Structures are given as C-alpha cells and as structure tokens.
Amino acid sequence: MVLILNVYLLLSYQGNGRSSKRRGINTDSISQFDSKTMTKYLLMSLDLLQNDGLRLENTEITDVVSHNKMNADSLFADGVDHLLVCRISHYDCEACDNYALERAIEFMNNNEVSFRMVVFGNYETDLALKIYSNNHSSCDGLKYCRVEDINIPIDSHGNPYYFVINKEMIVSDVYTPEKMMKEQTGMYFEVIKNKWQ
C-alpha cells in the first residue's frame, strides 16, 4: 500500500511541471525532485513493508498519567478494535515529532473514525512525556504511553512514524511522515480511515 502510494505521488509530482512529457511523465522536472530523492522514498517504502504483520511482544507500556503498566487488553478497553499509534522519541528531531503528532491529532479531530489514537513515546520518564504532551493539542480518547522499546525494524530508524495495531498487537500500515510530503501524509490518513472505519 505504502509503495503504491509513493510511486503514485512521485509520478504525479513529476507530471505537474510545464514541459515536455513522455509516456505521461514529465522528464524535465527531474531536477525539481531528483532521482536520489525518488530512490530514497521508494526504498523507504519497501523498508516500511517489512514491519507489516509483526506482533508487538514483550512491550512495556506505561500510562503517563496513572504511571500504571498496561497490557493490550487495557489499551482496547473502550471497545475499539484498532488503534492508530504515533511513535515519537526524545532521540528524534523535535520538529519532526511535533509535525507527526500534530498532523495525527488534526486528522483525528477532523474525521469521525471508529478507532482511537495512542502516542507511544520513548522518553526517559513518564513526567518528561507528560510535559511534552501538555504542549500539544488533543483529541478524543488520546492516551500517552511511555514505551521504550518496540520490537519492529522501523523503531531503530530514528524518525517518528505511525502504525495501526489490533487487539492481538499485530502491526499494519506503517508510515513515516515527511514534512516535505504533506499531501502524502494526508493520503495515508485517508487510506487508514477507509480501511479501518
């Protein structure tokens, strides 16, 4: 899904220029969106696919408000079947984390969806993540949890990312938002809304 979305957007982006086209692709706009960047996003898309279908195991989840350890059952206690997870970390670029979180909250506030959102923050203390949460918007049912380690490959990349989990803690729909590709992030949210509604 992510790979197809990336290829479509890259080709659409190239097709928006004002010069000669060959087979529907604008060959003169490559300088605006060079082949290195295209290759980076395509490889990133393939990399995201290797996370789909993995199960979160031995993941310690702590609610930053109550300081209680949580299990999968308590995450899904309000009867929802799926959760949108926004993964942030104090090791990430702060502006990137802020962008990822605010875009996800904006999506949740502007759409009626049957799933909830949870933030899995890799922070040294519950208080550090709580302070971070106080500086951001909110949405219905939003929960902040401190989660140091997640056993999926993308967690070692050093960027914020989104994914969806079900009650069995199976990961799907992994995506890394990029500020330069705002339209792509919006399309990601539309896809998960239609898929999990």
> Is 90 exceeded by the pLDDT of residue 166?
yes
- Where do the structural domains in the chain lie, given as residue ranges? 2-49, 61-196
Q: How confident is the model at residue 179 (pLDDT cuts 50, 70, 90)?
A: confident
> Is 90 exceeded by the pLDDT of residue 57?
no
Q: How confident is the model at residue 118 (pLDDT cuts 50, 70, 90)?
A: very high
- Distance, in Å, from the CA atom of 89 to the CA atom of 159, rounded to the nearest integer, reads 8
**Residue 108, token pair as written in the block:** 């949740």
- Identify the pLDDT of residue 19: 39
DSSP the chain: -HHHHHHHHHHHHHTTSSS-EETTEEGGGGGTT-HHHHHHHHHHHHHHHTTTT-B--S--EEETTT--EE-HHHHTTTS-SEEEEEEEETTS-HHHHHHHHHHHHHHHHHS--SSEEEEEEE-SSHHHHHHHHHTS---TT-EEEE-----SGGGGSSS-EEEEEETT-BEEEEE---GGGHHHHHHHHHHHHHHH-
> Is 70 exceeded by the pLDDT of residue 183?
yes
Residue 95 to residues 2, 133, 192: CA-CA distances in angstroms? Answer: 23, 14, 24
- Identify the pLDDT of residue 46: 65
> Is 50 exceeded by the pLDDT of residue 168?
yes
CATH 3.30.420.280 fits 61-196, yes or no: no
- Identify the pLDDT of residue 149: 87
- The strand pair at 161-166 and 171-175 is best described as antiparallel
Tens digits of residue pLDDT in 80-103: 899 999 999 999 999 999 999 999
Q: Against a cut of 0.85, is the pTM above it?
A: no
**Residue 135, token pair as written in the block:** 């500086």
Tens digits of residue pLDDT in 14-55: 444 443 343 444 444 444 556 666 666 666 666 677 888 889
- Identify the pLDDT of residue 44: 63
Tens digits of residue pLDDT in 104-117: 999 999 999 989 99
Q: What integer is the mean pLDDT of 59-79? A: 89
